[in-house]
Structure 1
Amino acid sequence: MPVHSRHHPRPPLADPAMSELRIFSYLPNPRIWKATIAARLCGVKVEVRGAPANELADWLWDFDAHPMTDQDKAAAADLAHGAKTGFTTQLFKTEEFLEAHPFGTVPAAFSPDGRVGIYESNSIMRTVARLGADNAPLYGDDAYSASRIDSYLDASLVFARDAQFYILALRAGSLPRDIYIRAKQAFESWMSGTERALMTTGDYIVADGLSLADICFVAEFALFHNERLHTDLLLANEFEPILNAAVAETWPRALDHFQRLCRHRAFAPDVEPFLKLLPNK
């Protein structure tokens, strides 16, 4: 596809092979599991495109995202944009991509015709739940339960932001004390709220059944396990890993909830391979 071309016309919805949502992201990215897990639960077809983060500088960021040839890069020179959080190199984004995704970040989701962009992982997950609402009530069954789910998702954003800065600092090999402290405080607050919610509701965070709140919890908690790749750096800076033995003692319901859902048929295809690649401690 030429780098300046417009998106293809919307394919017919009757096509059984067509995805209802396309997601472009660096991989692996536990935050896109929010959408893929929800999709398995409610029968929505989701397509994921992407590559490891260090390879995305060689991709054209677009609805039709793909690895670029040298010829593509020369033709797309005027599409160069500065790197965003988590990237240190020049990126190539089409005008159409930025129209659909004005903040220019990934994960980036698109409607089947590529014209509507949905950004931020919680919103992408909500889209899947709405598309499959007739198959599974993942977004609640009335305005109150849906808003209760939104409350948990919004509270999780506070933790997610501090966790992202923390993981990125660890990957960069330098961890300022203030970033560590904020991440630790955010983790403790988020886990405490989740623990209290499970004390009230029992098996699930918000309601009597599985919801977007549970999916979000598993994805964000799994992503935080990236800390285990940097234990040596933490210890060298005299920091204790935030994911330590005290987690099971302090928030037993939350940890049990995570471990139980990791084995769930809709969660396991994403979560299990990811966690197996990480050190146990």
Structure 2
Amino acid sequence: MMAVLRIFSYLPNPRIWKATIAARLVGVEVEVRGAKSAELAQWLWDFEARPLSEAERVERGDLARVGRVGFRGTSILKTEAFLDAHPFGTVPAAFGPDGDVGIFESNSIMRAVARLGGPQSTLYGRDPYEASRIDSFLDAGLVFARDGQHYLLALRGQAVSAETHARARDAFQIYLAGIERALAPAREAIVGDTLTLADICFATELALFANERIQQDVLAREGLAQAWDGAVEAAHPRAFAHFSRLRRHPAFAPDMAAYLDKLEQRSAPAPA
């Protein structure tokens, strides 16, 4: 089966799982290229993305751009074709099969996969109203995702402010409260009666936020508590039960299961 979409990203990246999970559910092929975040600065960022030798990096130095956000201050080689397709110059970066059309932002890449599944797919709703309700949940998730990203990057940098922590904690709880209500009284999906993009986005954003668990030392040093703790789980039982179901679902598990298991193992208390 020919890939209908190529995605270039740092790996692992729970946000590109939005596309790979959707692809399994609608039966299309998605190609993923990339490497660990620390290695991606050594790649040529392009439709034909690939690692470069040191000699190639020197030879193509005219393509160097200074990275931002997760690659802040790093010199990265990005082709003009890449920047034409991806004007913000970020990853994950998706391309159509010929490389001319670029699709950026993980929710938009996920939507593209759902559309490529054809009219038989209900991942993006059965009618314009249901599709718009799904969009509402995706937009609400962006608020949580942005504050969560700043928080996780700060933790990874070994320093986080009380303000950044509070914004992420509040965004997390607000998002969970909406999901909790949407699943009441005992629904199996966030929108409608089958899985949609809203469920995929929910599961993958929580999987990413679970990286907080392995930064307990940083939080303790700053005198801060985990945003994701037993109390927040107890306050949102439907949301976390749904997350537990999704991580074991056949379309989700290939991406999520081992990743979450590893995070849980790394955050577990050492044996006495």
Report the equivalent of 2:258: 273
State the secondary structure of the residue aligned to 2:153.
helix
Amino acid aligned to 2:32: V
Report the equivalent of 1:216: 201
| Partner Cα separation in structure 2 for residue 138 and residue 23 of structure 1 | 20
Structure 1 residues 22-41: Cα deviation after superposition (integer angstroms, max 9, x where no partner): 00000000000000000000
Equivalent residue runs for 1:118-267 within 5 Å: 118-199=103-184, 202-267=187-252
Unaligned stretches of 5+ residues in structure 2 = none
| Partner Cα separation in structure 2 for residue 200 and residue 61 of structure 1 | 47
| Partner Cα separation in structure 1 for residue 128 and residue 222 of structure 2 | 47
Q: 1:116 aligns with which of 83, 97, 101?
A: 101
Report the equivalent of 2:19: 35
Structure 1 residues 222-250: Cα deviation after superposition (integer angstroms, max 9, x where no partner): 00000011001111211111111112210
Structure 1 residues 131-159: Cα deviation after superposition (integer angstroms, max 9, x where no partner): 00334210001000000000000010000
| Partner Cα separation in structure 2 for residue 280 and residue 172 of structure 1 | 18
State the secondary structure of the residue aligned to 1:23.
strand
Structure 1 residues 4-52: Cα deviation after superposition (integer angstroms, max 9, x where no partner): xxxxxxxxxxxx3x21000000000000000000000001100000001
Amino acid aligned to 1:165: H
State the secondary structure of the residue aligned to 1:38.
helix
| Partner Cα separation in structure 2 for residue 280 and residue 212 of structure 1 | 29
| Partner Cα separation in structure 1 for residue 163 and residue 227 of structure 2 | 14
Of stretches 145-154 and 239-248 in structure 1, the one that deviates more from structure 2 is 239-248
| Partner Cα separation in structure 2 for residue 201 and residue 145 of structure 1 | 19
- Whether contact under 8 Å (1:43, 1:135) holds in the other structure is no
Q: CA deviation at 1:280?
A: 4.6
| Partner Cα separation in structure 1 for residue 235 and residue 152 of structure 2 | 22
Report the equivalent of 1:87: 71
Q: CA deviation at 1:275?
A: 0.7
- Whether contact under 8 Å (1:140, 1:211) holds in the other structure is yes
Change (3 A) 1:223 1:54: same
| Partner Cα separation in structure 2 for residue 116 and residue 33 of structure 1 | 20
- Residue-pair matches, total: 265
State the secondary structure of the residue aligned to 2:251.
coil
- Whether contact under 8 Å (2:6, 2:30) holds in the other structure is yes
Change (3 A) 1:133 1:200: farther
| Partner Cα separation in structure 1 for residue 41 and residue 246 of structure 2 | 34
Q: Are residue 78 (structure 1) and residue 62 (structure 2) matched?
A: yes
Of stretches 233-242 and 115-124 in structure 1, the one that deviates more from structure 2 is 233-242
Q: Are residue 45 (structure 1) and residue 29 (structure 2) matched?
A: yes
* Structure-2-length-normalised TM-score: 0.95
State the secondary structure of the residue aligned to 2:99.
coil
Amino acid aligned to 1:117: G
Aligned-residue Cα RMSD (Å) equals: 1.1
Structure 1 residues 111-143: Cα deviation after superposition (integer angstroms, max 9, x where no partner): 000000000000000000000033421000100
- Whether contact under 8 Å (1:247, 1:255) holds in the other structure is no
Unaligned stretches of 5+ residues in structure 1 = 1-15
Change (3 A) 1:215 1:118: same
Amino acid aligned to 1:37: I
Amino acid aligned to 2:81: E
Amino acid aligned to 2:71: F
Amino acid aligned to 2:198: A
Amino acid aligned to 2:40: L
| Partner Cα separation in structure 1 for residue 68 and residue 29 of structure 2 | 29
Q: Are residue 59 (structure 1) and residue 43 (structure 2) matched?
A: yes
| Partner Cα separation in structure 2 for residue 121 and residue 201 of structure 1 | 29
Amino acid aligned to 2:251: A
Q: CA deviation at 1:200?
A: 5.6
